[in-house]
Amino acid sequence: MRHAGHFVRLLALVVITVVGFLYVRSLVVPKDFGVKGHFRLSAIDDEGKREARHIGSDACAECHDEIGAAWKAGKHHIPQCENCHGPGLLHTKVVAEDSTAGYTDKILKQFPKAINPGTGITECKWCHLKTFERPSSLKYIVNVEKHITEHQGTFSPASRCIDCHNPHTTVVKR
Amino acid sequence: MSPITPDDVTRREFLETVAKTGGQSFLFGSLFVNTALLRLPQAGADPKSRAEAEVGKGIVYGFVVDTTKCIGCGSCVRACRAENGVPEGYNRTWVEQYTFYPDGEVFVNSPNGGENGFADPAPTRNKPTGPEAPMRGFFVPKLCNHCIDTPCIQVCPVGASFKTDEGVVLVDHERCVGCGYCVQACPFGSRYLNPETGTADKCTWCHHRVIKGLLPACVVSCPAEARIFGNVSDPESTISRILATNRVQVLKSFLGTRPRTRYIGLDSEVI
């Protein structure tokens, strides 16, 4: 037994390593890791904590009730307000002067009321510019210049769709 | 070293033993492999029957993209970017424009993921009229397929990628170390490394909206009703009725990842 000291020291080293590993592991690995699989369970709640930025057209109509009612009754009621105007969450916060307003996307830098007022032509083109792949049932425009002259208008580069069409109801103004 | 005695194994005996045990292990091994293979998802399995198998299992989400309805306006792409704060140049969802020409050429185009709409015709080939005019075309919106057998979760070394009980594949942005293995593993290109957070990012089917009772931003914003989201476990839900009355397909079924995002009217050229 004259070499027993070697084994004791080796055993002590192994014990220290194992205990140390388990201790560090308990500090590093979150408590809820591995409860339902190889992941942190509270990550699901973390993901769900984000605010919904698209608030829905009904929420828009709470303040903009006249436009909302006309939009709902009109032919253009399928595309939602936020399709053209962008998400409304920050707009409601800015209008309500809520200091917790907090997403720093370009929309806030771009528009003072944190909502896209619309250019009157870009938004229309997204759906109504003719492309070959679009179904023929969709009302689209092949050539804006031709379209305006055909309807006894005078085309200018500054011509906008909303000069003649109400974008909320599709009713032609003149 | 003791000298070799006749009691030791002869070469003949040795070879016999090797052949026997080798043969046995080969037989058992092949049996095991066969049974394992049988349990693998069949590549061409009908995705609709899988949806039916999920009926009554609690909430299980599904997504249907009706390519016959998509008009390529890009509303979904813009809504997704705004809703999720997706950095410029990256996409959680995008729209591809397919144009077929009489000489057999197919052009696939997705400028900025379709965020600013599409030009007519596809700018890659500017022959809109005459005998070389395109024959047919369509748009295909793409997003994360939320596969049942996900390659992306398997490769994550830190357990930052996971699947919820509802079948949604999510990223734990606190654990993710940004190694990018999952970005490479995804055969559909659904993932990207977010340059702002340094972590992997992907479509979550707007999990943060869905748990509040809202629909995903792309579904709400689609003016053509080309995107349908819902609980496939509930046989009365809209998506279940659509899955029951349509012939649906999934992308790259041969990979056996079993996507939960199903497509109506998918052409064979779409990959």
Minimal CA separation from A35 to chain B, in Å: 12
Cβ-nearest to B223 among A38, A39, A79: A79
Cβ-nearest to A47 among B85, B99, B170: B170
Q: What is the pLDDT of residues B154-170, one digit of tens each?
A: 999 999 999 999 999 99
Chain B residues 1-60 with CB within 8 Å of chain A: none
Look at B97 and A133 and tell me if their CB atoms are within 8 Å: yes
Look at B220 and A78 and tell me if their CB atoms are within 8 Å: no
For A71, the token pair is 């939009």
Beta bridge partners of B163: B169
User: Does residue B136 or residue B30 have the better pLDDT?
Assistant: B136
Whether residue B235 has a cis bond before it, omega within 30° of 0: no
B64 pLDDT exceeds 50? yes
Look at A133 and B98 and tell me if their CB atoms are within 8 Å: yes
Q: What is the pLDDT of residues A83-136, one digit of tens each?
A: 999 888 888 887 776 655 555 555 556 777 778 888 888 899 898 888 888 877
B15 pLDDT exceeds 60? yes
B141 touches chain A (CB under 8 A): no
B265 touches chain A (CB under 8 A): no
Nearest-angstrom CA–CA distance, B152 and B201: 12
Confidence of residue B133 (pLDDT cuts 50, 70, 90): confident
Percent of chain B with pLDDT strictly greater than 70: 80
Shortest CA distance from A78: residue in chain B: B223
CB B220 within 8 A of CB B79: yes
CB B178 within 8 A of CB B193: yes
Backbone angles phi, psi at B91, to 5 degrees: -140, 135
Confidence of residue B44 (pLDDT cuts 50, 70, 90): very low
Look at B223 and A127 and tell me if their CB atoms are within 8 Å: yes
What pLDDT score was predicted for residue B36?
47
What pLDDT score was predicted for residue B1?
47
B72 touches chain A (CB under 8 A): yes
Compute the average pLDDT of residues B82-91.
91
How many other β-carbons are positioned within 10 Å of the β-carbon of residue A82? 28
B84 pLDDT exceeds 80? yes
A75 touches chain B (CB under 8 A): no
A130 touches chain B (CB under 8 A): yes
Chain A residues 131-160 with CB within 8 Å of chain B: 131-135, 138
Confidence of residue B42 (pLDDT cuts 50, 70, 90): very low
How many other β-carbons are positioned within 10 Å of the β-carbon of residue A120? 15
Nearest-angstrom CA–CA distance, B141 and A133: 13
Which residues of chain B are within 8 Å of residue A130 when distances are taken between CB atoms?
120
Which residues of chain B are within 8 Å of residue A53 when distances are taken between CB atoms?
82-83, 217
A33 touches chain B (CB under 8 A): yes
A43 touches chain B (CB under 8 A): yes
Look at B72 and A38 and tell me if their CB atoms are within 8 Å: no
A88 touches chain B (CB under 8 A): no
Look at B72 and A51 and tell me if their CB atoms are within 8 Å: no
What pLDDT score was predicted for residue B3?
53
Question: What number is the ipTM of this complex?
Answer: 0.85
Cβ-nearest to B208 among A39, A48, A129: A48
Nearest-angstrom CA–CA distance, B225 and B52: 23
pTM: 0.81
* Residue bearing tokens 């058992």: B28
Nearest-angstrom CA–CA distance, A51 and A90: 10
A54 pLDDT exceeds 70? yes
What pLDDT score was predicted for residue B258?
92
Cβ-nearest to B211 among A39, A48, A103: A48
A160 pLDDT exceeds 70? yes
Q: What share of chain A is helix, strand, coil (3-state, %, to 5)?
A: 45, 5, 50
Determine the residue type at B198.
Answer: G
Percent of chain B with pLDDT strictly greater than 90: 59
Which residues of chain B are within 8 Å of residue A135 when distances are taken between CB atoms?
69, 71
Q: Categorise residue B203: left if φ over 0, alpha if ψ from -120 to 50, beta otherwise.
A: beta
Look at B71 and A87 and tell me if their CB atoms are within 8 Å: no
Look at A37 and B162 and tell me if their CB atoms are within 8 Å: yes
Which DSSP category does B231 fall into?
E
Q: Quick one: CA dihedral A101, A104, A107, A112, positive or negative?
A: positive
Look at B82 and A53 and tell me if their CB atoms are within 8 Å: yes
CA-wise closest residue to B61 among B216, B220, B243, B233: B233
For B104, the token pair is 């057999």
Look at A103 and B173 and tell me if their CB atoms are within 8 Å: no
